[in-house]
Structures are given as structure tokens and as C-alpha cells.
Amino acid sequence: MSQPHQADTTFRPDLLAGKHALITGGGSGINLGIAQSFAAHGCKVTVLGRNLEKAQKAAQGIVDAGGQALGVSADVRDFAALEAAVAQAAAQFGNFDIILAGAAGNFPAPVDGISPNGFKTVVDIDLLGTFNTIKAAAVHLNKPGNILSISAYGNPVPMQAHVVAAKAGVDALTQTLAVEWGVRGVRVNAIIPGPIDGTEGMARLAPDEKSRSRVAQAVPLNRLGVPQDIANAALFLVSDAASYVTGVILPVDGGQNMLGGAPQYQTYLAMQQAEQKA
């Protein structure tokens, strides 16, 4: 996204002035949207990604739009690399006020199409990576501070056993940390994004127009989300307006969660039927 990102009118433009946020997986999609939105509200942002060039490009886009940003690289599966990257970020912009563990890995596959290494890979990125991010960055976290993770429904989702299992762990980690660290002045919350347009996740899970519109129609608010929808929830959760909110796993999904896993199951059934016909 190269166009300048501006603070929307819901929150005051200086909401996060003087703060520093670490955003893993911030090079694209939902996490980039959050990084851009935080920066547009005065926050210094460190965009961390596996690919340095992509992270730096995302940071440059934020700088070009008038924000303050740094791109750093680490694989969230590599704790030592994360420690080095967060130290670099803290040296540049000072300690963090916000840690957003957003990096995720995913591919659609049925359980019998996932190798042990494939399952481990996704658990390592999504669950262990969230733990690694928080552990490495918390050393540099100001108090009061905020931690956000990106989670998924507790519902069973066909073709997503690895992700759903990992994200259930993310929920447990989020709430356990909220209990442990509340006394230190750290709030810990998670967001469950619904189907968000223009993201890699959507491209993987609904690759064509027909499946995109099927997904949109299965959302009670009858549309796909946009990254700003998630960014708005993130802004609220890290702001003082949410100062009595911790351990919350907040769906931002147009109401999709109320339907349980039924829409995803219907999509799966349609795919199975199409395959049988072919």
C-alpha cells in the first residue's frame, strides 16, 4: 500500500503520540494496516518481518506518509534473531509501549494432507512465534504497556486444523499473560479478525471471486472487512479508553463468530462436491 494513510476521525490524531509499537508480520495485510493506523495516530512503529526488504518497504511507506517507522528482520521462530531485532528497535525509538504479535503462517489443507513438519511449521510460527515475540520484547516494554495478539475462532474450521490448534494456544497464552501481568500494569488482549479483504489469508482461503462472495454473504454484516476495521479495534484496545480491559479475545468479524463454523463448513462441502463432480 503506497498511498498515504491518514488518521480516521473516530480517534484523535495524537492518540498514540510518543508511544512505540512493535508489530510482527507488519510488512503486509492486517498487521500493516495496524502499523499504518498507529503511525497515523502519532505512534513510532517498528515493522518486523522475515523479509527485511519487505519490512523496510512497509516502514518507508509509513515514513513517506509522514510517520515514524523502522523496518527490521527476524523469523519469529528464531528467538535469538528476535532478541537482536527488538534490541535494534529499542535503540532507535526507545522502549516499546505496545507489542503486537501478528506474524502468522497458514495454508489450507485437510488433516491427512498436512505432514508432521507442516503442522509443526504453523504451530511454530503462530503459537511459539507469539510466545517468542512477547518474551523477547517484554524486556523492553514500558509499564503501563499493552500486548496484542491476533487469534482465530475456537470453532473447528475444515482445512485449518494446524492454525485452529495453534490459535487456541494463542488464546490460552493471551489470557494467562493477562492474569500474570495485570499486576505489572500490562494489559494483554487479542483480536480475532473475520474475513478481511486484500490480505494474504483471504487470498489463500478464498482465492476466487465466487468463494469471496460466498464468504461475504456468510457474514451477518454482509461484507468482507477491511484492514481499517481491525486497526480501529487495535487502537481502542491499546488506548486509555480500554484501560479496564484485559484478557479479552475480541472478534472483529461482522458477526461471523455467532454462526460458529457453519459458513466455513458450507464452503468446505461445496469444494468437496465440486471436486467429486470434476
Q: Which is nearer to ligand HXC, 73 or 246 (CB)?
A: 73
Residue 71: all three cell numbers together:
523496518
Q: Kindly tell me which of 35 and 122 has the beta carbon lying closer to ligand HXC.
A: 122
DSSP E strand stretches across 82-185: 96-101, 141-150
Among 63, 169, 200, 247, binds ligand HXC (CB under 6 A): 200
**115 is an interface residue for ligand HXC by CB under 6 A:** yes
Look up cell 512497509; give the residue: 58
Q: Does 112 bind ligand HXC (CB under 6 A)?
A: no
Active site annotation includes 151: yes
Active-site entry in 28, 37, 149, 151: 151
Distance, CA of 215 to CA of 5 (rounded, Å): 27
Regarding beta strands 96-101 and 186-193, do their DSSP bridges make them parallel or antiparallel, or are they unpaired? unpaired
CB distance 29 to 199 below 8 Å: yes
Stretch that binds ligand HXC, among 15-23, 84-92, 111-119, 141-149 (CB under 6 A): 111-119
Residue 161 near ligand HXC by CB under 6 A:
no
| Site mask for ligand HXC (CB under 6 A), range 27-66, x = bound | ----------------------------------------
Q: What is the grid cell recorded at 241?
A: 479508553
CB atoms under 10 Å from CB of 209, counted, come to: 8
Asked whether the beta carbons of 135 and 186 are under 8 A apart, the reply is: no
Is 157 an interacting residue with respect to ligand HXC (CB under 6 A)? yes
**192-204 b/e (C-beta count within 10 Å ≥ 16 → b):** bbbbbbebebbee
Least CB distance from residue 236 to ligand HXC, whole Å? 22
Compare residues 8 and 197 and give the one whose CB is closer to ligand HXC.
197
- The sheet carrying 141-150 orders its strands as 68-73, 44-49, 20-24, 96-101, 141-150, 186-193, 249-252
The answer to whether the CB of 268 falls within 8 A of the CB of 209 is: no
Could you tell me if 136 and 74 are in contact, meaning their C-beta atoms sit under 8 angstroms apart? no
Q: Does 21 bind ligand HXC (CB under 6 A)?
A: no
Q: At closest approach, how far in Å is the CB of 77 from ligand HXC?
A: 8
Number of chain positions touching ligand HXC (CB under 6 A)? 20
Q: Which of 19, 115, 167, 210 is catalytic?
A: 167
Identify which range of 13-21, 58-66, 103-111, 225-233 contacts ligand HXC by CB under 6 A. Answer: 103-111
Binding positions for ligand HXC, 119-138, rule CB under 6 A = 121-122, 125
- Which residues are known to be catalytic? 151, 167
| Site for ligand HXC, rule CB under 6 A | 104-107, 109, 113-115, 117-118, 121-122, 125, 152, 157, 160, 163, 200-201, 204
